[in-house]
Amino acid sequence: MFRALVLVAGSVGGLSGAAISLLNGQSKKARTIIGKSRALPLNADGVYLPDGSGPVAGEPGGTLSFAMLGDSLAAGLGAERTDQLPGVLLARGLADESGRPVRLTTHAVSGSRTSDLDEQVDVALIDPPDLAMVIIGGNDVTSRMRIGTSAAVLAKQVRRMVRAGTTVVVGTCPDLDIIAPIPQPLRAIASRWGLALARAQRRELERLDGVSTVSTAALLTPEFLARPDELFSDDRFHPSGAGYELAADLLLAPLCDAAGLWGSRDLTHA
């Protein structure tokens, strides 16, 4: 995946042959250190109650439906326990804030790029959720997908959900500067590319009603840089359970705000 980033950097930056050779060597080193996870993310979809229990059998009346879409960060790859999955943490937080049961459905697939989001949205719209969280973009950075194309595809898929009546919150592309196994200067290139993608995502989504964006880079980068041993899993690429707990704490407020839960005990679409 980092090989593609090297090719893009060379094509747009006019890098010398020696510089590209250096970056190629660094991309191989990063792949070796990070490795390729063969594990599937944990899953604990189901209904969560305001008293903190769940998942429970059946579905009580007045249930708020909540979906997670995107890549490995939305799926929770790296969490050690199901109660540390971002979807579970957010579902429990939403149940507590709304006073209603929350049904969590995870459509996110590890390794997904924005171009893969249409399949997830297809499934989600079979029974459109009241509220959805989308986290996507990191894999676009390490592929050859153009920033403008990526942002436009994201807006198209989010628009489909909004038209179906879903309130959507999008966590924009994270800052890859926090991934220490990517050596410099390759990490700096990845960081610049990811931040540029996050800005493009936000610009595209600001044109849509019923959509909110959250800068995962601004919210999470300082903490992950300060506490890498605690907040990263063993692969040093994905968050640990503690990392997902931190992320969920920060993402819950924008979700509640978008859903109209502040000062209310009911969901209203923006």
Distance of CA 127 to the CA centre of its chain: 21
Give me the catalytic one of 37, 83, 143, 235: 235
Q: Is 169 left (phi over 0), alpha (psi -120 to 50) or beta?
A: beta
Do 101 and 64 contact (CB within 8 A), yes or no?
Answer: yes
User: Is the bond preceding residue 55 a cis peptide, omega within 30 degrees?
Assistant: yes
Give me the catalytic one of 45, 65, 71, 72: 72
Q: In whole angstroms, how far apart are CA 2 and each of 34, 150, 257? A: 11, 17, 37
- Is 269 among the catalytic positions? no
| Residue labelled with tokens 């540390």 | 84
Distance of CA 239 to the CA centre of its chain: 11
- Is 235 among the catalytic positions? yes
Give the Cα separation of 84 and 188 in Å (integer): 30
Give me the catalytic one of 71, 110, 238, 240: 238
Give the angle subtended at the CA of 223 by the CAs of 146 and 245, to the nearest 5°: 90
Torsion sign, CA atoms 162, 95, 112, 27:
positive
Indicate which residues carry an active-site annotation: 72, 235, 238
